[in-house]
Amino acid sequence: MLPNMRLLALVATALLGVTLAEHTSNWAVLVGTSRFWFNYRHMANVLALYRTVKRLGIPDSQIIMMLPDDMACNPRNSFPGTVYSNSDRAVDLYGDNIEVDYRGYEVTVENFIRLLTDRVGPEMPRSKRLLTDEKSNILVYMTGHGGNEFLKFQDAEEIGAWDLADAFEQMWEKKRYHEILFMIDTCQANTMFSRLYSPNIIATGSSKLDQSSYSHHADNDVGVAVIDRFTYYILEFLESQVKDINSKKTIGDLFDSYDTSKIHSDPGVRYDLFPGGDDAARSRLITDFFGNIQNVEVDRTGDAKLDEELLVLSKTIALLHKKADEQEAAEAAGNNTASMTASVPTEAAKKIRGATALTDDSWWTKKIIGATALVGCAALWGLGSFMEA
């Protein structure tokens, strides 16, 4: 009985912790959709975001990266085995510690949608699955070539704005996310989130309808542009303003940093799908999506019903602990009583008689009786022999 009481108390405590937590994990889905050497910058965009989310603590086990081409090993690369996002080549984004989950021809529209909705077979390894739940925040970043409500995958197929919207809706219905931050860097990027209709989504893009998204600068030694403007200035903000996981910078601070004179296009933001609208969305911390947050607690003092439920749950936990302690004390007392009873002899216990010493009189009496018996036996033997003769 005692272990059961302890187990109930632990379960109740765990439920209380889950109730208080808004979200318990952060995930990142980073997608490059372009192949060929002249799209080097799109791979650099993805790898630069990958480096940032890892710096802020999200582990590889919670990052899904899709790269359709391997620019690091391209024969045109003047610096084999490396990818840079800046012409000074200070940081090798490819490095030694990188995990690409989908590469080459695995990067397709079908695989991307299956990843989001978890419509995969049992043979799919965990490293290629988005193992999120209703307490997970997800950063979805996409970059490539696009147009009005579409994004090309490897110049072979396209994903439409409605395809993306329906995939996010399936995720919501299947309780696969708590909140999503969707970011896209492509031409006419803002049209890609125009059809979203699922709740708890913040979206931002690099350019509005009929606008291009431009590269930032080229590396003459590499021979191509190495990063896009929109992604470059997002990274500049994250690297300079968000130093570690304890940063208090918000999504609103990031969006306010957009400068159209530097980006050369009109970035867009969408808040209307988020509960509480602009203010609630803008107040979200950068690290709520870019950092490795575990068990975030949110103040909900205004929710009287929740407070009442938490109070009842707390009392239940205290009562279970009290009953468990009483049960333990009662069992300990019972064991002590039984031990004392076993160690004290009862009055009805039968006494063991000791040996009695022989006196001289009794010794001679026994000797005479023994001798008489021997004489009698001898007489009987002699009489028997006489009669037989």
Asked whether the predicted pLDDT for residue 13 surpasses 90, the reply is no
Q: Pairing mode, if any, of strands 146-147 and 25-32?
A: unpaired
Give the residue numbers marked as catalytic: 145, 187
Q: Report the pLDDT value the prediction gives residue 130, as an integer from 0 to 100.
A: 97
Report the relative pairing of strands 63-67 and 146-147 from DSSP bridges: unpaired
The per-residue pLDDT of the chain, averaged, comes to 85
Q: Across residues 34-40, what is the average pLDDT?
A: 94
Q: Please state the rounded mean pLDDT for residues 209-235.
A: 95
Euclidean distance between CA atoms 269 and 202, whole angstroms: 8
State phi, psi for 14 to the nearest 5 degrees: -65, -40
Q: How far apart are CA 297 and CA 287, in angstroms?
A: 14
Model confidence at 20: pLDDT above 50: no
Domain that holds residue 216: 25-294
330 in a structural domain? no
Among 274, 271, 209, 263, smallest CA distance to 235 is for 263
Residue 182 and residue 143 in contact, taking contact as beta carbons nearer than 8 Å: no
- Position 127 confidence tier, pLDDT thresholds 50, 70, 90: very high
Question: Would you say residue 323 lies in a domain?
Answer: no
Give per-residue pLDDT as tens, 223-253. Answer: 999 999 999 999 999 999 999 999 999 999 9
Residue 325 has pLDDT above 80, yes or no: yes
What is the distance between the alpha carbons of residues 200 and 215, in angstroms, rounded to a whole number? 31
pLDDT digits (tens, 9 = 90+) for 349-382: 445 455 555 555 555 566 666 666 676 666 666 6
Q: Which residues contact 335 (CB under 8 A, 6 or more apart)?
A: none
The CATH number covering residue 159 comes to 3.40.50.1460
Residue 302 has pLDDT above 90, yes or no: no
In a domain, 17, yes or no: no
Q: Are 107 and 248 in contact (CB under 8 A)?
A: no
- Fill in the DSSP letter of residue 218: E
Q: What's the CA gap between 140 and 291, in Å, rounded?
A: 14
**Which pTM does this prediction carry?**
0.71
Q: How far is CA 289 from CA 244, 245, 296, in A?
A: 13, 11, 12
What are the residues whose beta carbons fall under 8 Å from the beta carbon of 103, sequence distance 6 or more?
Answer: 66, 67, 68, 70
Q: Could you report the per-residue pLDDT of 95-113, keeping only the tens digit for each? A: 878 999 999 999 999 999 9
State the virtual CA torsion across 110, 112, 118, 124 in degrees, nearest 10: 80
162 falls within a domain = yes
Predicted confidence at residue 16, as pLDDT, reads: 43
Residue 3 has pLDDT above 90, yes or no: no
Strand order in the sheet with 268-270: 102-103, 63-67, 25-32, 136-143, 179-185, 201-205, 268-270
Total tally of structural domains belonging to the chain: 1
Q: Average the pLDDT over each of 76-85, 133-142, 145-154, 354-363 and give the range with the smallest value.
A: 354-363
Query: What is the distance between the alpha carbons of residues 189 and 79, in angstroms, rounded to a whole number?
Result: 31
Q: Is 374 inside any structural domain?
A: no
- Lowest average pLDDT, out of 25-39, 112-126, 252-266, 305-319, goes to 305-319
**Burial label, 82 (beta-carbon count in 10 A; 0-12, 13-18, 19+):** middle
From residue 64, alpha-carbon distances to 115, 138, 151, 264 in Å are 9, 11, 19, 30
How confident is the model at residue 23, as a pLDDT? 82
